[in-house]
Structure 1
Amino acid sequence: MKQALRDKTRYKNPTEEGLFFSESFPRVLCPPAMKFAAALIALVSASLVSAEVTWSFKKFQDGVEVPFEEGPPTKFQSQALQRVREARKRSRIERRAGAVTVESSNWCGAAVTGTTFSSVVGSWTVPTLSRRSGQSSNSDPALAQWVGIDGFNNDALIQGGTLSELEGNSQENFAWTEMLPAALKEVSLTVGTGDHITTNVTATSATSGTVTIQNTSRGTSIVGTVSGGTRLSQNSAEWILEDFESGNSLVAFAGFPTQTFTGSAIRSGTSVSPSTATLIDIVQSSTLCSATLSGSTVSMTDN
């Protein structure tokens, strides 16, 4: 991965910013005002602390724990859904009669909604990337595949998956986890083109969870435990192929063969499949990725 994209930059954490008052703020406060100010400071401080994201990891080979090495910092960030247009009905037969589709600049796939999603699991194959028409040989097109909780209707998101990037004629793949607002974390799990990946994301509370990424082709897995981050609403679960961000802008979106996700989610203690999901297409200057459903299988097609 190029150093320009994956450097040692230390990301600013909201807790590193001080809480400041104007010079016009009274120097002497009456007891009620002092109590209010103290309560306000405590409330703001608590919200800042909750935004700190802390991960711990374990790695396994064929079910046996092995040493885990921290991955390098990245400037990559997966984001919540960025809508282009409001949801509308689509009549194309392969989308299901009456299926709702949302157009987005960054997500392609499916999302189920409701209340109290506690976990989501998905399986996919790491694709062989290509450059789109008009992308130069110097470009590094990429995409990410993941499952997660939240992000469809809000700015919270816990997720895990794989990221693939084309550098020259070589493709690089790696596994990652993320809980907003922090940047995604690369984890030391070998991922090859064509490998089969299964990922389980579980919300253990509104501000904590676990992400398990299994490379079933190689018998290896990573279990990440996270706390902090933006408070989860747990009102959606997703199976997504994404055009992610680097340095606050979308990366060049790679071409890919049709991809499929299978899996399920737990909503209020009951298993649900993607069969009732809202579909999401990536639309930038044109439609780049279209999602379809066949039973409980989500397919993403390059356009």
Structure 2
Amino acid sequence: MKFTTTILTTAMLAGSSLAAPRSGLAERLQARGVLSRQLIPAEKNGVLLKDGSDGANVEYSKNWAGVVREKPPPSATYTAVSATFTVPTPKATDNSNDMQAVSAWVGIDGDTYTQAILQTGVDAYIQNGEQTFDAWYEWYPKNAENFDLALTAGDVIVAKVESSSPSKGVAIIENKSSGQSVTKTLDAPSTSATLAGQNAEWIVEDFNSGRNMVPLVSFGKIDFTGAQANANGASYGVNDAALLDMQQNGQVKAHVEVSSDTEFTVTYQ
């Protein structure tokens, strides 16, 4: 993701994120401008029964925290995923002045279906006390790209991806705080990278730079509201979906709490 050269700081502040499927994909190298980014599968470290969550199964992942609908209803496919959330305030976890970051995004596929993923979201970074933000979209395996959209901590964002066919889609981010919005129409990058509509995802991620994870920034909490996935004309929320807590080196780094079928919170630990 970021080269370990003198352009590191500038490149990181130019910014981007990528989202990693939890299983089935080999590492990939992705470039956005001068950035080199690498996708790795999220690592699951076991399953637990989350207290007070009506028996929901919670999986541990090394780099994902959030909610994943792993299977669509019978004879249906997911064609849209959306949510509203606030751009987090990144705070350094130490005095190293090293880059720390976090991403928040919504997506279709890329979990149990690994050939493609259509996704869009935002990043928050801090380095040397300076906060930076960006918005991005991606249709894996094509490289991610930045939206031209100004962001600041506390902005209320609506993120949505929608597919009109397995090879056609759109990514939309609206900054409700500024009144600006951006839209990008996308085509599948190849015939082998069409969508299946098997997964719907709302994720907070600690992404990778090369072989190493970028240190996770302290992001406080990210509240997802209006979380919705559409499949064959019906709408679905996060109830009965898989919950992911982020765990690194035996410690939970980000914890998920579901408050309703359309609302949940990811909290930095």
By the TM > 0.5 criterion, same fold? yes
2:10 counterpart (3, 6, 14): 3
Confirm or deny: 8 A CA contact 1:131 1:141 kept in the other structure. Answer: yes
1:169 counterpart (120, 125, 129): 129
Structure 1 residues 118 and 107: CA distance shift in structure 2, 3 A: same
Confirm or deny: 8 A CA contact 1:82 1:107 kept in the other structure. Answer: yes
Structure 1 residues 247 and 4: CA distance shift in structure 2, 3 A: farther
Q: What is the distance in 1 between the residues matched to 2:81 and 2:9?
A: 32
Matched, 1:101 2:58: yes
Matched, 1:122 2:129: no
Q: What is the distance in 1 between the residues matched to 2:133 and 2:101?
A: 10
Which residue in 2 is equivalent to 1:138?
A: 97
Confirm or deny: 8 A CA contact 1:141 1:254 kept in the other structure. Answer: yes
Structure 1 residues 178 and 77: CA distance shift in structure 2, 3 A: farther
Which residue in 1 is equivalent to 2:220?
A: 257
Higher strand share: 2
Higher helix share: 1
1:1-303 mapped onto 2 (5 Å cutoff): 2-5=9-12, 73=33, 75=35, 77=37, 79=39, 82-86=42-46, 88-93=47-52, 96-115=53-72, 116-132=77-93, 135-155=94-114, 156-229=116-189, 230-262=193-225, 263-285=227-249, 286-295=251-260, 296-303=262-269
Q: What is the distance in 2 between the residues matched to 1:76 and 1:162?
A: 18
Instruction: Flag the structure with larger Rg.
Output: 1
What one-letter code is carried by the residue in structure 2 that aligns with 1:183?
N
Structure 1 residues 118 and 201: CA distance shift in structure 2, 3 A: same
Structure 1 residue ranges without an equivalent (≥5): 8-52, 54-71
Structure 1 residues 99 and 199: CA distance shift in structure 2, 3 A: same
Which residue in 1 is equivalent to 2:17?
A: none
What one-letter code is carried by the residue in structure 2 that aligns with 1:92?
D
**Between 184-193 and 73-82, the greater mean CA deviation after superposition:** 73-82
Q: What do residues 209-267 of structure 1 show as CA deviations (whole Å, max 9, x unaligned)?
A: 10010001001011011112322221111111111122343211111112110121102
Which residue in 2 is equivalent to 1:16?
A: none
Q: What is the distance in 2 between the residues matched to 1:212 and 1:151?
A: 19
Cα drift, residue 283 of structure 1: 1.2
Cα drift, residue 92 of structure 1: 0.9
Confirm or deny: 8 A CA contact 2:82 2:228 kept in the other structure. Answer: yes
TM-score of the superposed pair, with normalisation by structure 2: 0.80
What's the secondary structure of 2:239's corresponding residue?
A: helix
**Aligned-pair Cα RMSD in Å:** 2.2
Structure 1 residues 79 and 98: CA distance shift in structure 2, 3 A: farther
Confirm or deny: 8 A CA contact 2:11 2:34 kept in the other structure. Answer: no
Cα drift, residue 298 of structure 1: 1.4
What one-letter code is carried by the residue in structure 1 that aligns with 2:10?
Q
**Between 107-116 and 195-204, the greater mean CA deviation after superposition:** 107-116
Cα drift, residue 6 of structure 1: 6.7
Q: What is the distance in 2 between the residues matched to 1:282 and 1:224?
A: 30
TM-score of the superposed pair, with normalisation by structure 1: 0.72
Cα drift, residue 109 of structure 1: 0.5
